[in-house]
Chain A
Amino acid sequence: MRASPRKTIRRASILLALALLAASIPALVQSGAGATGPAIQATPAVSGVADAETIDLCADEGTIDLPGLADVPIWGFSLDPGTGCGPATLPGPMLSVDAGDVVTVNLQNNLDEDVSIVFPGQDLAPNAVVVPAAGSGSYTFTASDPGTFLYESGTNTSVQVAMGLYGALVVRPLTAGRAYDDPAAEYDVEQVLVLSEIDPNLNSYPDPNDFDFVGDPDVYTDGYHPTYFLINGEAYPDTNPIAAASGDLVLLRYANAGLSHHTMTLLGQHQRVIAKDAYPSVANAYDAVAETVPAGSTLDTIVTLAGVAGGSTLPLYNRQLDVTNDGAYPGGMLTFLTVS
């Protein structure tokens, strides 16, 4: 790794939730107004000022541990806090900015091949900057609209995204404690849920670019065939429960970075779907037990815990029943909303 030569401006409003921390605390849980869950940091509202936000990311090799399977190689993003690149994580750091911010993302590419970042939903020419191996580049855009977004590799995507080069980007509206500039989008507790899947055979391949995604067409399980299904890079039982209190409004920000659609279901209470792909349709919100988050899409739902007794535990899981780790149940995309 190289020391960062870049000038950076860092502001407290950039929330960086490293998956490394997730092992010890529910790192991706943040709090809005009135939250009772663990807060990482409040985001100060900045009215009418286009702030400059600079985020230094690295693309690097790394490893993650899955249930029963240690040291799975990944390619992931990490944060350079000014002292060099941190370890790559899956998903990458969660980026949180305010609507209106002019965001600059610097990328130091420590992989052995070209990497770029795309920011779906942002006004930014895709693939404008491809960063060569051992090189660096920069992306600047105005985060004009609030919502839940992804960022992910835009180069050699079938391999690089499957290897782990993705993360969530949350753009916050002017009013804290809301997902969008609408009173009906208020929440007390929020949770980002980055959905993805892993085929360890790809990730463990000596050079993933040599991996045969098709395999033997006569063998259905050959080729690319994910067997681990992740929420924020974790498979049950390593997933973090979502803690909230009876009466809370819980905002679930789903972001599907995987290569498959994922239909997520909640038992015990409906989810109110308020936005898809960060396009709020609060007036047209509807209630769902299960909703599909297509690959590359995001979905915001609000769960009302009014009337849900403290002590309740509401299962939240993939209804395509990707609730296994390499076939073993329970596992996969399964966690719980624990109500205090």
Chain B
Amino acid sequence: MGATRRTRLNLLLAALAVFAVAAVAVPRSAAPLPAVAGALPCTNGTTFNLRATTGRISTPDGGSVFMWGFAKNPGAFQMPGPILCVTQGSTVTVNLQNDLSEPVSIVFPGQTAVSSSGGSAGLLAQEAAASGGSVSYTFLASEPGTYLYESGTSPHKQVQMGLYGALVVRPTMGASYAYNDAATQFDPAREYLLLMHDMDPDLHRAVERNEPYDITTKHDRYWTINGRSFPDTIAADGVAYLPSQPYGALVRVRPSTGSTLPALIRMANAGMSNHPFHPHGNHVRVIAQDGRLLGAGASLSYEQFTQTSGSGQTFDLLFRWTNVENWSTTHPIPVTLPQMRNLVFKDKVTWYSGSPYLGKKVKLPAGVVSFNRCGEYYYPWHSHALNEFQNFDEGFGGLATLLRVDPPLGQGTPPSCPGP
């Protein structure tokens, strides 16, 4: 596939073969910065109007995949569906308009007593009729946590096609807590969603062409986090070149000090396979599964360096980067770029070509002053089912993102990197 599959990101990801990514070429002004740490890009409210519709997502190899998705109504197609954020105790109403050519429904795993109005009875949930039908769902968001919402109609097809999204229920204790427990406090400026999916583009093409959809032939070729495949996952929320994939997945932290609150990572798997997600840098602390805290005070929480997320599961992870390397801008972590002979190339065009620019060797462009201009530090976070760490047979890609560790405030070059 290789030669025709080009990345749009001028990024050096040379050292992914080892633990740390040493350097990312950053044009001073040309490209947008990676996602700035900030609040989760929530769609807040208690009543949400969604529309099931078609669209395309872009893949980093220059291709695109036909999708079905939940869009805001009114609103354009997006993947995944909007991140619905509500407060515990709210009565939530989701109004679905179905612009697809077959009935669609939504199920809300983890919610109880979901009632519906309109539409007609389906096997798993009330359905909105094809081509303009509608249905409404109402439930009490009784328990905080991270949840999925997804199609309940022919889910082997419709979830695969992209009809899924995340629902965040914030506890009554406050938006800087994951649950009603002091042990779940996090830095609200460092709250992230990693919503995983796996796709066989042949099935999507069959749907697009109105050909038979044969799930027994499913063979995944693309894997996404928040609807994007790596390296698009590390681009900022809402970048112009990913118009239908608004959510980035770059996790940003600063070195933890005694008083630093952890980041909260809401991980969810809408795919059809179990994904062993492997963070580097530090273990993650798993404090909740499927919207339920693991013991009072997270007493049953545990640390993992690979957290397998089963299909339909969610996990809430607290993360601190504890800087055991004692890193600072005056004490940089020595990262040796790998020797070429230690790198594995599948062909002439795979990722690292010996330059920051993929596929061909060129000088750094004007304006690029540093590979990591804030002195920041990167780790790959990725599926350790390593076949998922690629885009249609080209690595690295797929179900992966980066952890970006920014220098402590006041350090770095320039000394004030953006973000909290």
Contacts and interface: CB of A to CB of B under 8 A. Distances in A.
Interface of A: 220-221, 225, 227, 261, 263, 265, 267-270, 284, 286-292, 307-309, 312, 315, 317, 319-324, 326-327, 329-330
Max chain A Cβ within 10 angstroms of own Cβ: one of B107, B112, B273: B112
A288 B216 contact: no
A263 B311 contact: yes
Contacts of A268: 111-114
A321 B289 CA distance: 20
Interface in B135-187: 147, 152, 154-157, 159-160
A278 B192 CA distance: 36
A290 B123 contact: no
Contacts of A312: 113
Interface stretch (B61-69, B223-231, B233-241, B290-298): B290-298
A198 to B, nearest CB: 13
B109 A329 contact: no
Interface residues of B, number: 39
A263 B274 contact: yes
Max chain A Cβ within 10 angstroms of own Cβ: one of B123, B154, B274, B310: B310
B313 A289 contact: yes
Given A221-B217, A321-B311, A267 B290 contact: no
B274 A292 contact: yes
Given A286-B292, A289-B312, A307 B274 contact: no
A237 B370 CA distance: 62
A321 to B, nearest CB: 4
A317 B109 CA distance: 12
Contacts of A221: 216-217
7 contacts: A221-B216, A261-B274, A268-B113, A268-B114, A286-B292, A321-B155, A327-B216
Given A221-B216, A270-B110, A289-B291, A323 B155 contact: yes
Contacts of A322: 156
Contacts of B311: 263, 265, 290, 319-321
Given A290-B109, A329-B157, A330-B123, A319 B292 contact: no
Closest 6 CB pairs of A and B: A319-B312, A290-B312, A289-B290, A287-B292, A263-B310, A319-B311
Contact of B312 (A225, A261, A265): A265
A311 to B, nearest CB: 11
A308 B114 CA distance: 11
Nearest to A319: B312
Given A220-B219, A263-B313, A288-B290, 8 more contacts: A286-B295, A292-B308, A319-B310, A320-B273, A320-B311, A321-B159, A322-B156, A327-B214
B18 interface: no
B124 interface: yes
Contacts of B147: 289
A321 B292 contact: no
Contact of A329 (B107, B154, B290, B310): B154
A287 B292 CA distance: 6
Given A309-B113, A319-B310, A329 B156 contact: yes
Contacts of A330: 123
A263 B109 CA distance: 14
Contacts of A289: 109-110, 147, 290-291, 312-314
Interface in B269-307: 272-274, 289-292, 294-295, 300
Contact of A287 (B114, B157, B217, B290): B290
Given A286-B289, A289-B312, A291-B310, A267 B156 contact: no
A321 B107 contact: no
Nearest to A323: B156
B313 A286 contact: no
A322 B292 CA distance: 26
Contacts of B216: 221, 225, 227, 324, 326-327
A284 B300 contact: yes
Contacts of B114: 268
B215 interface: yes
B160 A321 contact: yes
Max chain A Cβ within 10 angstroms of own Cβ: one of B123, B157, B291: B123
B156 A288 contact: no
A327 B212 CA distance: 10
A292 B310 contact: yes
Contacts of B107: 267, 315
A320 B272 contact: yes
A269 B112 contact: yes
A309 B114 CA distance: 11
Nearest to B142: A307
B293 to A, nearest CB: 9
A288 B217 contact: no
A307 B140 CA distance: 13
Interface string B102-135: 0000011111111000000001100000000000
